[in-house]
Structure 1
Amino acid sequence: MVSKGGNSPFTYIIVDNQTKTRTCIHTPGYPPMIPTDLSQSNLLSALDGAKLVYFDGRLHETAAIVAEEANRRGIPILIDAERKREGLDYLLNFASYVVCSTKFPQEWTEASSIPSGLVSMLLRLPKVKFVIVTLGKDGCIMLQRTEMDNLLPEEMDVEDLFEKLNLEKDTNATLPACISSNVAKLHAKGIGTITGKLLVGTAESIPQTELIDTTGAGDAFIGAVLYSICANMPLEKMLPFAAQVAAIKCRALGARAGLPRSTDHRLSPFLV
């Protein structure tokens, strides 16, 4: 959709060559897209044949129209919950999958820790199959909802389980990996219990000489998660695959220049 006389959003990104940090100076687009800009025919054609719908939480009023139609068609939805935004709570009600930033689970749920925040998110969002929280160079955490099983042993404290999985990390590994728990009744103090699996994903430790620019690393990770869902990739492969895509991206300047293709030899261990 194009607005005559408007302007597209754009961002100046300043990358520090020594610290490898970046500063973003953003100019929003104008005018913002509103629901009346989206005709019914455009909406229907956009969703025709879609396997998955993705939202980043922006333009929430228009996004809500798309989410409602996708939900009617039974198309799964992934929400990128970077931070609390207007209208995000409504969108999350339609989510099948959520990928969020490090601070979001605790900010949104007021839980005392990230693992407890993930339990709270699954309790508050009964349609969500899994939540991933990205931790930058420290990898990621995933909580997957599974079917109820009355034969499971007693409840496990989700924070204790998280610490146990962290201890199983191979500190000498060069490639991203995934450590997964068994299905269990996972309890968060003062919040409640869900049946699921906790997974901890590691990130590649990029040599300082190869680290160029982290701009778009989170988006590269989410893009790889979207690909993995559509390709029916097992979760234990999805997390290291997404981490590797993000790591490859960080070896080039800009958000897109370093993105790998599926034929990239660096991805072959995850696509077998």
Structure 2
Amino acid sequence: MMKLAPILPCYNSHSFSFLPRSFSNTKSTTLPRAEMSSSSSWAVEMEKAASSPSLPPFPDKRVVLGCGAVSVDYLATVASFPQPDDKIRSLSLKVADDAQGRNVLMELQADGVDASHIVVAKEGNSPFTYIIVDNQTKTRTCIHTPGYPPMLPEDLTKTSLFSALENANLVYFDGRLHETALVVAEEASQRKIPILIDAERKREGLDDLLNLATFVVCSKRFPQAWTTASSTPAALVSMLLRLPNLKFVIVTLGEEGSIMLERSVNDASEKEETDVESLLESLKQNIDASATTPMCISSKSLRISADGIGAVSGRLFLGTAEVIPPSELVDTTGAGDAFIGAVLYGICAGMSPEKMLPFAAQVAAAGCRALGARSGLPWRADPRLAPFWS
């Protein structure tokens, strides 16, 4: 059974009252200034998945520690987004524990992870987000209210931190509350545990985390915003040059798929440089425009350059997204989180990029077929994931 080490949430909450009803039957163990819980319902599903003869065994290195946000979402679907000063009625309302960091790790659960989490108990306000899902455009608009007081490094005892990292094979950060996250990241780095950073947008202290990153998954706008490069492909080259510990960087592009730049193990400095823009265009020429399922096109190991930035030895990958029929598209909330969760699983399972990117796209697309970030997540035994287990 895959085991997930405790999540270290970036926001404090004064109680579990915001958790959905499905989390009510949880076991708990008291820790210093902290409370650990896990959902037994996930374990039941995992046992079913593990008993299936068609599924491969769980990965050997499968303990993932996550440091991220804990909050509550109020998801209201509307016929169309309101104009200023309008008054409209919602078509449906869903209240869910759908924080970014938790979403990512819940996707790992759906793929066979037994999850638990630590919540530091303090009096204060829990963070929450109002999400308006527009049925007409199939988009969502989020209004987030941070929690208070924030989690501070002194809230995390060394005993809790060392215990959480003891068997961890991979650590995930969503970039929230950098001071506390950096304490965890520095300890993980000293233990030579790989680190994946979710770079959604520029945040205070994010640079310190990125300097320790082994893997980075970015939102569409982040690479150029962080590097000031003229294009996304050039920005990926810049990121690998600026972050020497980085093994790969992925930028998610929504319905346009994803781009991944992987640093080569073997130096290709003797090879002629290939412009990253031209290389990406050549990969696009190999996409099957009639395909509706995710696919990945990859380059050979090359010396990949960006004008005015420099060159790295690596491979470029172009991943496509699943084409979701309009009648099946419900809500894109959490699609990026689902993608990252699948990437984490792919790393644990030792998937090649050619398999990992389509796998992550498939999982993200499944989540878009239900309201909220988690309702549509596929279990490991889901038939839609069967091609990735062969």
Structure with higher strand content: 2
- 2:42 aligns with none
Quote the Cα distance in structure 2 between the aligned partners of 1:186 and 1:255: 36
- Among residues 204, 212, 219, which one is paired with 2:330 in the alignment? 212
Aligned length: 272
**2:272 corresponds to 1:147:** no
Quote the Cα distance in structure 2 between the aligned partners of 1:90 and 1:151: 29
- 1:134 aligns with 252
Quote the Cα distance in structure 1 between the aligned partners of 2:191 and 2:269: 35
Give the TM-score of the pair, scaled to structure 1.
0.98
For residue 170 of structure 1, give the secondary structure of its aligned residue in structure 2.
Answer: coil
1:151 to 1:194, Cα distance in 2 relative to 1, 3 A: closer
Quote the Cα distance in structure 1 between the aligned partners of 2:384 and 2:262: 27
| Contact 1:3–1:31 (8 Å) recurs in 2 | no
Give the Å deviation of 1:27: 1.7
Deviations 1:32-70 (A, max 9, x none): 000010000011111121111011111100000000000
- 2:369 aligns with 251
- 1:79 aligns with 197
For residue 133 of structure 1, give the secondary structure of its aligned residue in structure 2.
Answer: strand
Quote the Cα distance in structure 1 between the aligned partners of 2:221 and 2:297: 22
Quote the Cα distance in structure 1 between the aligned partners of 2:120 and 2:251: 34
- Among residues 150, 159, 176, which one is paired with 1:58 in the alignment? 176
- 2:309 aligns with 191
Question: RMSD of the TM alignment (CA)?
Answer: 1.1
Give the Å deviation of 1:269: 1.1
In structure 2, stretches of 5+ residues that fail to align are: 1-118
Give the Å deviation of 1:271: 2.1
| Contact 1:165–1:200 (8 Å) recurs in 2 | yes
Give the Å deviation of 1:152: 5.1
Quote the Cα distance in structure 1 between the aligned partners of 2:367 and 2:306: 35
Aligned AA (1:231) = A
Quote the Cα distance in structure 2 between the aligned partners of 1:210 and 1:63: 38
Aligned AA (2:229) = A
Quote the Cα distance in structure 1 between the aligned partners of 2:122 and 2:308: 53
**2:352 corresponds to 1:239:** no
Give the Å deviation of 1:2: 2.6
| Contact 1:79–1:95 (8 Å) recurs in 2 | yes
**2:389 corresponds to 1:271:** yes
Structure number with larger C-alpha Rg: 2
For residue 193 of structure 1, give the secondary structure of its aligned residue in structure 2.
Answer: strand
- Among residues 321, 324, 329, which one is paired with 1:203 in the alignment? 321
Structure with higher helix content: 1
For residue 83 of structure 1, give the secondary structure of its aligned residue in structure 2.
Answer: coil
- 2:232 aligns with 114
Give the Å deviation of 1:149: 3.5
Quote the Cα distance in structure 1 between the aligned partners of 2:132 and 2:252: 23
Quote the Cα distance in structure 2 between the aligned partners of 1:114 and 1:5: 43
Question: 1:156-175 counterparts in 2 under 5 A?
Answer: 156-175=274-293
- 1:30 aligns with 148
Give the TM-score of the pair, scaled to structure 2.
0.68
- 1:97 aligns with 215
Quote the Cα distance in structure 1 between the aligned partners of 2:312 and 2:269: 14
Aligned AA (1:221) = F
- 2:54 aligns with none
Quote the Cα distance in structure 2 between the aligned partners of 1:150 and 1:137: 33
After TM superposition, which residue ranges in structure 1, 4 or more long, deviate above 2 angstroms? 1-4, 147-153
For residue 36 of structure 1, give the secondary structure of its aligned residue in structure 2.
Answer: helix
